[in-house]
Chains A and B, each alone.
Chain A
């Protein structure tokens, strides 16, 4: 079964509004969570890395003020796309690393969120 739950799976919002995406680790404590973005027919592009209780580390070119990441607990991280524009339309995926009893060398992915900004 799923070990990382991402919600919502699909969202359509108006330009200028904000959208929050949640990522939960279901049966383990995720010390580190990652947020990726995938454009059509392209690979996963890391946006930011977040550790519980500390500020996220953003990749070069990713606007911190636009993509707000909060990792308030060991099981929940959120990505808020602020003042969304049509060019923010994409597939956003979270992943979590933590100890599930087999060591923490795997990353488990959420189901992804398809964001469409109209």
Chain B
């Protein structure tokens, strides 16, 4: 049973437009969420995180929104750039937990 879901395996967006990547979770114990970006044959790179006490966190072009009641979070990238093309993983962890549970990832392609 997948505790973290990313229902869109892929997404294509035009350069300059907004990219919205979605993530849903089932475990109500999760209270800290992260987004990672991964290029082929490389390790994931941390992008942005959000704690359950917030509903929004912004860092430059990246904004993460959290809707606890819906158990849903999203990553907005605006404006999208070709260099943003990568696989994006959503991850979650419970308070005091050690491990992150990763979603299956969404492959983002930003078209020039």
Question: Does B98 lie within 8 Å of A105, measured CB to CB?
Answer: no
Which size class do B's interface residues fall under? 10 to 19
Known: A42-B104, A43-B105. A111 touches B99 (CB 8 A): no
Q: Residues on A close to B: CB < 8 A?
A: 4, 6, 32, 34, 42-44, 46, 49, 91, 93-95, 97, 105-112, 114
Q: Which B residues are in CB contact (< 8 Å) with A105?
A: 32, 49, 93
Question: Does B41 lie within 8 Å of A114, measured CB to CB?
Answer: yes
**Which residue of A has the minimal Cβ distance to B44?**
A109
Question: Does A106 lie within 8 Å of B41, measured CB to CB?
Answer: no
Alpha-carbon distance A3/B41, docked complex (angstroms):
18
The digit string for B63-91, where 1 denotes a CB below 8 A from any CB of A, is 00000000000000000000000000100
The 3 A-B pairs at the shortest CB distance, nearest first, are namely A109-B43, A43-B104, A112-B43
Q: Which A residues are in CB contact (< 8 Å) with B99?
A: 34, 46, 49
Q: Which A residues are in CB contact (< 8 Å) with B93?
A: 105
Question: Does B103 lie within 8 Å of A43, measured CB to CB?
Answer: yes
Q: Which B residues are in CB contact (< 8 Å) with A6?
A: 43
Question: Does B105 lie within 8 Å of A91, measured CB to CB?
Answer: no
Question: Does A107 lie within 8 Å of B100, measured CB to CB?
Answer: yes
Per the 8 Å Cβ criterion, residues 35-72 of B in contact with A are 36, 41-46, 49
9 intermolecular pairs with C-beta atoms under 8 Å apart: A4-B43, A44-B102, A105-B32, A107-B34, A107-B46, A109-B46, A111-B42, A111-B43, A112-B42
**Which residue of B has the minimal Cβ distance to A112?**
B43
